Amino acid sequence: MRNIRRFLADRSGNVAIIVALSFFPLLVIAGGATDIARYEAFRVQLQSGVDRAALAAAALNQTKPTQTTVRDYLKVIDFLDDVTLDIQEQVRLNSKSVTVNARYAMPTAFLPLIGIETLDVVASASAEERRSNIELSLMLDFSGSMASNSKYSRLKTAATAFIDAILTEQTKATTTINIVPYAGQVSVGKTAFDALVNLPANPSRREHNNSSCFEMRNDSDYGTGVISFIPRGQVPHFTVWNATNNTANLNPGWCPSDDTSIAFMSNDAAALKQRIANAKMYDGTGTAIAANWGLMLLDPSSRPMMNLMRANGLASTQFPDRPVAFDDPETLKFIVLMTDGEITEQYTAKDKNKPVRTSNNATQISTKDTNVTRFYKVCDAAKANGVVVFTIGFEANSTAAAQMRKCATSASHFYQVSGLDINSAFQSIATAIQQIRLTQ
C-alpha cells in the first residue's frame, strides 16, 4: 500500500510525457504548413499557366488546335503529366472563347499523418477575343481639283493601302466596304441605275447613257432613310468648270461615268482596289450627296435596295442581312469621308437634251450654303445613329477643313493633311477602327 502511494506521488518524467504527447500535433501543424506552402506555390504556377494558355488559345489568329495550344503553354509546369485538363471552346464567325479548367492532386508530405493524402490544386481561366462586324462606307473625292499637286495619285495609293489594312485574312469574313467616289454627283453605275428604276419596264427613266446619277434636289432627300428611285430624275450630262482641259484622267461630266461609280458592300479587297485604280476625276464637289449615299448604304432601310444589288451581282451575297440595324450589338458602322475642297453649288443642265457640254448649258439649283446645311444634316444623322465618322481634309482650305471637322465624330476623328501625309491619315484611321472593334 505504501508503494502505491509512493508511485502516485512521484512527479518525475511528467515533462517527457507532455513533450511526447505534444510532439505529434506540433509535427502536424509544422508539416501541414509546409504542405500548404507547397500547395500555394503549385496553385500559383498552375493558375499562371492556365491564364496564359487560355489567352493564347482564344486568339482569333491562333492557327494551332486549342488543345495543342493549351498544352504547349503548360509545358513549363513540372507536374503537367499529373494535371487533369478540361478544355472548352466556342467558335463563332467573329469571336472565339476558351475555358480551361485544370486539377492536380498534389501528394502531401505531412498531412497523411491525419489522413490527408493529397490536396486538390485547382485553376481555371476563361478568355474571349471578339471582333465586331464592320460596315464601312468610304467616300473619296475625285473632283477636278484633285489633279493638282499629285493629289489624285496619292489618294489612290493611300486608299488602296487602307483597303488592305481593313480587309485582312482575320477580318474580311466580318467586314464589308462600300466605296462612294464622287465629284459633283455620285454615280451608281448603269446596271444599278437600271435595276433601281426597273428597266426595261420604265424606259423613260433613263434619259441618256453617258452616266447614271440620281437627282437629290430636296432637303427631305438627306439624312436617314432611302430615297425613292423610280419617280426620281436622272442627272443630265453636262459640265460647269471642266468644259475644256488637257489633264489626264480629268473628264467634263458633273455625274461620273461607270468607271467612277459606287462599289456596293464588298469584302473583296482585290475588286475594291481595282475600282479605286479605275476612278477618274470629274466636275464639281457634291460632298453632301456623297455623304448621303455613304449613310444610305449603312441604313437598314436600304436592305431591299442592297438585295437588288446582290441579285444583279453588284454586292456580296455573303452578307444577306446587311445593312443590319443601327443598334445591332454585334456591328460597328463607320463613315470615312475624304475631300480636298469646299462643297460647291449644285447645277443641272438648262436643256437636258442638248449634247453640248459647256458651262453655258448649266443652271444652279442649290447654293453652297444649302448644300453645306444638307451635309451637316447627314453628318448629324449618322452620329445620332451610332455611326463613327472620320473625315480627311486633303490640302483643303480653312473653309473645307472646318466643314470636315464639324462633320466628324470628334476633333480627333478629323485629319488635316497634305502631300504624302494622306497615307498616314488613312493608316491611322484603319488602326483606330481595328482598336475600336476589339474593345467593344
Write phi, then psi, for 111 (nearest 5 degrees): -70, -20
Instruction: Pick the more confident residue, 120 or 353.
Output: 120
- Which pTM does this prediction carry? 0.76
Q: How far apart are the C-alpha atoms of 336 and 162, rounded to whole Å?
A: 11
pLDDT of amino acid 113: 82
Domain 133-439 -> CATH class:
alpha beta
Question: What are 265-301's pLDDT values in tens digits?
Answer: 999 999 999 999 999 999 999 999 999 999 999 999 9
Domain boundaries, the chain: 2-130, 133-439
Instruction: Pick the more confident residue, 398 or 242.
Output: 398
Q: Is the pLDDT of residue 99 over 90?
A: yes
Q: Coil, strand or helix: which one is 92?
A: coil
Q: How far apart are the C-alpha atoms of 361 and 344, rounded to whole Å?
A: 17
Q: Place 7 in a pLDDT band, splitting at 50, 70 and 90.
A: very low
Q: How far apart are the C-alpha atoms of 286 and 291, rounded to whole Å?
A: 9
Q: How far apart are the C-alpha atoms of 90 and 97, rounded to whole Å?
A: 5
Question: What are 147-190's pLDDT values in tens digits?
Answer: 999 999 999 999 999 999 999 988 899 999 999 999 999 999 99
The two most distant CA atoms of the chain are separated, in Å, by 147
Are 221 and 292 in contact, with CB atoms under 8 Å apart?
yes
Mean pLDDT score, 133-150: 95
